[in-house]
Amino acid sequence: MFQRILIANRGEVALRVIRACHDLGIEAVVVYSEADRGAPYLRLADQAICIGPAAATESYLKPANIIKAAEMANVNAIHPGYGFLSEKADFAHMCRACGIEFIGPPEEAMRRLGDKNEARKLAKQVGVPVVPGSEGLVESDKEALAFAEAVGYPVLIKAAAGGGGKGMRIARNEMTLISGLNAARQEAQSAFKDSSIYLEKYLEIARHIEVQILGDRNGEVVHLWERECSMQRKHQKLVEESPAPHLPTSVREAICDAAVRLTKAAGYYNAGTCEFLVDPQNRFYFIEVNARIQVEHPVTELVTGVDLVREQIRIAAGEPLRFQQSDIEHRGCAIECRINAEDSQTFRPSPGTISHWQPPGGPGVRLDSHVITGYKVPSYYDSLIAKLLVHQPTRADAIAVMRRALAEFRVEGIHTTIALHREIFNTSAFVDGRVDTKFVERVLRPETQSN
């Protein structure tokens, strides 16, 4: 097993990995930018190393600075968390070439699945349904127009290297398709240095359901059931839960089976997630693989009792999976609310100093957060400040406990999504489990709908 791990990330996920290291008796070294200097979670690490200025491109996204810190601290492995360099195959390669294990999948699997268009091809090869889409990358406007004509509008323009909703545009007619193609290409080029795009049929009503998997270096892959992530704003998740409400058992099993088939075919190991869209007829379509730990992983930890971050570390250290598919239980219902520093009406970021922080607690509540009273939320990074989770025997109980926890939660000095979550948990359609990816924008914030 490793003796020391460097965490190439910040905020709540850095703290999550520090805790997993300590639970395994491993020393945790964390890096930080100048904007995160003095952040309280850094004190919980065994060592903290500054890797550059506030801008992520000068610090958390700078492979050379991170490798230098790892060599200085003499670590055996690097945990990338999520975001930043976590899905960069070149970074994984660089770590391993320097004799430092990258806690994640093999580079080849990252390359293959990181390109969404390639991942779609592989899915088709192994009989996993994909959203109807262009045959491959779309090179010209003419090709795009022909595809849209054939499948019918609306269509969704997507960046092959995409993530975080960047490079994604809905086109409802020829005019918005042409302008959207240009805008998406530019956005993808500046965000990912890759302007490749492809098209999918845009599903007006869909649920986002994803499957957690774990695989080891011996080619064993198990799934840890699904998470429902349909409660979103701006195509980004707000609430995640497991099990997915009202999903027929046969569909649930078929989705989980598809996720295992696909990741096995890619030669995948470590933790990963296969994301699907599910239409009102319960037909499911693969959209992408996230080749890393995800923000919402604690939902799965609560219902299965498996500590995913510890398992990631064990797998990276070469240990075989300690369980088979039949050992993975699913108990009760877990729900997560993402607490972001943002205006709950407009979804604009709300950085600044937290003048009062009073988190909820008590039976059935888990809070993953790196902030305390007096913490200054920097404006440079993602606005996630906490993940509030509950675990109960039934969904109705979980909703009741979440309502209580949200009522207890007090944050002053900045705006947060807590107010929006309180609304969600008091909306009857959500309580009934009738959710889809447009729910928040259609039911609660119609003024924010893009098109």
Catalytic residue IDs: 292
Instruction: Indicate whether 207 belongs to the interface with ligand ADP (CB under 6 A).
Output: no
Stretch near ligand ADP under the rule CB under 6 A, chosen from 85-93, 159-167, 214-222, 350-358: 159-167
The H-or-E segment that residue 84 falls in is none
384-387 long-range contacts (CB < 8 A, ≥24 apart) are: 384/11, 384/12, 384/295, 384/338, 384/339, 384/340, 385/11, 385/12, 385/339, 385/340, 385/341, 385/354, 385/416, 386/12, 386/339, 386/359, 387/12, 387/295, 387/296, 387/298, 387/336, 387/337, 387/338, 387/339
Q: Which range touches ligand ADP (CB under 6 A), out of 33-41, 117-125, 157-165, 220-228?
A: 157-165
Beta strands in 291-396 (DSSP E): 333-340, 352-353, 356-358, 365-369, 376-377, 384-392
SS3 of 375, please? coil
216 closest CA partner among 164, 253, 294, 269: 269
Q: For residues 350 and 254, give the distance between their C-alpha atoms in angstroms, rounded to a whole number.
A: 41
188 counts as binding ligand ADP under rule CB under 6 A: no
Query: How distant, in Å, are the alpha carbons of 63, 222, 225, 279, 305 from that of 329?
Result: 38, 12, 9, 27, 8
Residue whose CB is less far from ligand ADP, 27 or 296: 296
318 binds ligand ADP (CB under 6 A): no
Q: Which is nearer to ligand ADP, 107 or 200 (CB)?
A: 200
Minimal distance, residue 309 CB to ligand ADP, in Å: 22
Which residue among 53, 129, 136, 163 contacts ligand ADP (CB under 6 A)? 163
Nearer to ligand ADP, 48 or 213 (CB): 213
Q: Is 169 in the site for ligand ADP (CB under 6 A)?
A: no
Among the listed ranges 141-149, 201-209, 345-353, 386-394, the one in contact with ligand ADP (CB under 6 A) is 201-209
The residues, any chain, with a CB within 8 Å of residue 371's CB and separated by 6 or more, are 40, 354, 357, 377, 385, 386
> Is residue 278 involved in binding ligand ADP (CB under 6 A)?
no
CB of 382 to ligand ADP, least distance (A): 13
Q: Which of residues 130-149 bind ligand ADP (CB under 6 A)?
A: 131
With binding defined as CB under 6 A, does residue 287 bind ligand ADP?
A: yes
Q: Which residues, listed in sequence order, are joined to residue 156 by a DSSP beta bridge?
A: 170, 200
Q: What is the contact mask toward ligand ADP in residues 218 to 257, using x (rule: CB under 6 A)?
A: --------------x--x----------------------
Closest to ligand ADP by CB, 36 vs 200, is: 200
To which H or E segment does residue 437 belong?
none
Sole binder of ligand ADP in the list 82, 91, 198, 202 (CB under 6 A) = 202
Q: Does 296 bind ligand ADP (CB under 6 A)?
A: no
Nearest to 20 by CA among 253, 293, 312: 312
Question: At closest approach, how far in Å is the CB of 291 from ligand ADP?
Answer: 12
In this structure, which amino acid lies at residue 317? A
CB nearer to ligand ADP: pick between 11 and 133 = 133
How many residues bind ligand ADP (CB under 6 A)? The answer is: 19
Q: Which stretch binds ligand ADP (CB under 6 A): 198-206, 248-256, 265-273, 440-448?
A: 198-206
Strands 47-52 and 27-33: parallel
Assess 200 for contact with ligand ADP (CB under 6 A): yes
- Rounded to a whole number of angstroms, the minimum distance from the CB of residue 282 to ligand ADP is 16
Q: Which of 285, 277, 205 is nearest to 244 (CA)?
A: 277
Token code pair at residue 308: 């995913």
Is residue 332 a contact residue for ligand ADP (CB under 6 A)? Answer: no
Nearer to ligand ADP, 48 or 148 (CB): 148
Is residue 203 a contact point for ligand ADP (CB under 6 A)? yes
Question: What are the CA-CA distances from residue 45 to residues 30, 134, 168 (Å)?
Answer: 6, 47, 38
Q: Are 53 and 59 in contact (CB under 8 A)?
A: yes
What is the binding site for ligand ADP (CB under 6 A)? 131, 156, 162-165, 168, 200, 202-203, 206, 208, 232, 235, 275, 277, 287-288, 437
